[in-house]
Structure 1
Amino acid sequence: MKTNILGLRAEDSTVIIADLNKLLSNYQVYYQNLRGIHWNIRGKRFFELHVKFEELYNDSQLKVDAIAERILTIGGKPLHTLEDYIENNTLRVGKNISQDEKAVQLIVDSLSDLLKIEREILNKTDDLGDEGTNSMMSDFITEQEKTIWMMNAWLEESL
């Protein structure tokens, strides 16, 4: 059995690298969606949402870097072209969204889709003994579940 420098089976790492590159691609689209709604948001909630969207895109930029570095750590090469990102993306692209509820709903939908990918990776890495990737996915999931809860609370109508 051939292993990489971390002691993980090379064949297993190849599978995880492909999954992480899919996640990386989706995160890059999520990041761009956040930039777009940050720039284009309008209305009475502009100030609160403009700041929140900036917070989210800064966080997603850190996650993009963490995913790419994890790919490198386990012996792979992270995707890095727009062509690759578009080809591997499964998220809805938000174009010209300036209305507050549509922007927040795009975030909820995107995070829900990212969670699906992350849970798949979490399950695989648990089975394959890749604790580093598994821990990263667990941290991402915990944080994103809370963000979804908060965004859904924001979308609810007051009683």
Structure 2
Amino acid sequence: MKRATLSNHLNLDEKQMKKLHGQLNDILSDYHVFYQNVRGFHWNVKGNDFFVLHEKFEELYTRLYQNIDELAERIVTIGYQPLHSYSDYLSHTIHKEVTDVSSEEETVDQVINGLGMLISSQRKAAELAGEAGDISTEDMLTTFVADLEKRMWMFTMYKK
């Protein structure tokens, strides 16, 4: 029976971790593009609920920034290098840059859609991390998903 090749000091399978690291860098890219979109909504939203949405968008992009840092540090911890250029982010993301959006309804729709995409990709990566035995990454992603699901619910309630 062939033994798995261990990748690093964490004693995790090299092949599985290489695949996971690729997914984590994709998610890091998604976070960066979505973060910038939310910053734009924060700056540019217009309407009767400006003050509420301006504040909620700031809360959201602050959380996204914190997750970005934690995710990048986790990539380093598992023995890889996080992407760190906007050209890399743009070529590794499923998110699109959103510009010239200022209506309350459209900004909230964009946030709900972006959160949904982040949640979905993080669930897949958490599953892969679990299969690899990387419980720390799995836990981190599960925590991110739970928080973003709650935020998504709150933005969805704004639309009701």
Instruction: Give the TM-score band, short-chain normalised.
Output: over 0.9
- Code of the residue aligned with 1:110 in structure 2: it is G
Gaps of 5+ in 2: none
Q: Deviations over 1:18-56 (max 9, x none)?
A: 000000000000100011001101111111111111111
The number of residues matched between the two structures is 156
Q: Which residue of 1 aligns with 2:38?
A: 34
Q: Deviations over 1:108-128 (max 9, x none)?
A: 000101111101101111111
TM-score normalized with structure 2 length: 0.94
- Code of the residue aligned with 1:118 in structure 2: it is Q
Q: Percent identity?
A: 36
> 1:3: how far off?
3.3
In 2, Cα distance between equivalents of 1:12 and 1:75 = 13
Q: Which 10-residue stretch deviates more, 28-37 or 8-17?
A: 8-17
Q: Which residue of 1 aligns with 2:102?
A: 98
Q: Which residue of 2 aligns with 1:59?
A: 63
- Matching residue within 117, 124, 127 for 2:121: 117
| 1:133-148 superposed matches below 5 A | 133-148=137-152
**TM-align CA RMSD:** 0.9
In 2, Cα distance between equivalents of 1:55 and 1:45 = 15
SS of 2:119's equivalent in the other structure is: helix
In 2, Cα distance between equivalents of 1:90 and 1:18 = 14
- Matching residue within 50, 55, 77 for 2:54: 50
In 1, Cα distance between equivalents of 2:59 and 2:7 = 39
> 1:95: how far off?
0.8
> 1:92: how far off?
3.0
TM-score normalized with structure 1 length: 0.95
1:22 and 1:89 in contact (8 A); partners too: yes
- Matching residue within 51, 55, 73 for 1:69: 73
1:97 and 1:103 in contact (8 A); partners too: yes
Q: Which residue of 2 aligns with 1:86?
A: 90
In 1, Cα distance between equivalents of 2:100 and 2:124 = 31
- Code of the residue aligned with 1:46 in structure 2: it is F
- Code of the residue aligned with 1:49 in structure 2: it is L
In 1, Cα distance between equivalents of 2:21 and 2:47 = 42
In 2, Cα distance between equivalents of 1:38 and 1:67 = 23
- Matching residue within 3, 12, 24 for 2:7: 3
Q: Which residue of 1 aligns with 2:136?
A: 132
- Code of the residue aligned with 2:71 in structure 1: it is I
Gaps of 5+ in 1: none
